[in-house]
Amino acid sequence: MDNYLQQKRILVGITGGIAAYKTIELIRLLRKQDAEVRVVLTEAAAHFVSPLTLQAISGNAVSQSLFDPQAELAMGHIELAKWADALIIAPATADFLARLNLGLASDLLTTLCLATKAPIFIAPAMNQQMYAQSVVQQHLASLRQRGINIIGPNSGEQACGDVGAGRMSEPAEIFAALSASFVTAKPLLGLKVAITAGPTQEAIDPVRYISNYSSGKMGYAIAEAFAKQGAIVTLISGPVNLTPPQDVNVIKVTTAQQMWEQSMSAAVTHQIFIGCAAVADYRVADIAPQKIKKSGDEITLKLVKNPDIIADVGHLTAQRPFTVGFAAETQDVENYAKDKLVRKRLDLICANDVSIAGQGFSSDHNALQLFWADGNVSLPLTDKQHLAEQLVNLIINLYQKTNHNDEKN
Ligand code: PMT
Cα distances from 100 to residues 8, 15, 52, 84, 309, in angstroms, run 24, 12, 26, 18, 44
Q: Is 150 annotated as a binding residue?
A: no
In our burial notation (b when 16+ CB lie closer than 10 A, e otherwise), range 60-79 reads eebbbbbeeeebbeebebee
Most informative mutation of 200, 214, 237, 342 for ligand 1 (most atoms within 8 A of CB): 214
Of the residues 160, 172, 183, 377, which is catalytic? 160
Q: Is 326 annotated as a binding residue?
A: yes
Q: Return d(Cα 359, Cα 232) in angstroms, integer.
A: 28
Neighbours of 59 (CB within 10 A): 12
Q: pTM above 0.75?
A: no
Centre of ligand 1 from the C-alpha of residue 127, in Å: 32
Q: Is 186 annotated as a binding residue?
A: no
Q: Return d(Cα 254, Cα 189) in angstroms, integer.
A: 30
Three-state DSSP class for 398? Answer: helix
Tell which phi-psi region holds residue 161, choosing left (phi > 0), alpha (psi between -120 and 50) or beta: left
- Counting from 1 in the atom list of ligand 1, the atom nearest the Cα of 349 is 28
Residue type present at position 185:
A
Closest to 361 in 3D by CA, of 249, 227, 223, 240? 240
So what's the pLDDT on residue 91? 98
Q: Is 350 a catalytic residue?
A: no
DSSP class per residue in 236-302: EE-S---PPPTTEEEEE--SHHHHHHHHHHHHTT-SEEEE-SB--SEEESS--SSPPPP-SS-----
Centre of ligand 1 from the C-alpha of residue 237, in Å: 12
Tens digits of pLDDT across the chain (409 residues): 568 899 999 999 999 999 999 999 999 999 999 999 999 999 999 999 999 999 999 999 999 988 877 777 777 888 999 999 999 999 999 999 999 999 999 999 999 999 999 999 999 999 999 999 999 999 999 999 888 999 999 888 888 888 889 999 999 889 988 998 887 767 788 899 999 999 999 999 999 999 999 999 999 999 999 998 889 999 999 999 999 988 899 999 999 999 999 999 999 999 999 999 999 999 999 999 999 999 999 999 999 999 999 999 999 999 999 999 999 999 999 999 999 999 999 999 999 999 999 999 999 999 999 999 999 999 999 999 999 999 999 999 999 988 655 556 5
Report the DSSP pairing between strands 303-305 and 282-284. antiparallel
Centre of ligand 1 from the C-alpha of residue 370, in Å: 14
Give the residue whose CA is nearest to atom 10 of ligand 1. Answer: 276
CB 188 within 8 A of CB 231: yes
Q: Return d(Cα 91, Cα 113) in angstroms, integer.
A: 15
CB 197 within 8 A of CB 236: yes
Give the residue whose CA is nearest to atom 13 of ligand 1. Answer: 328
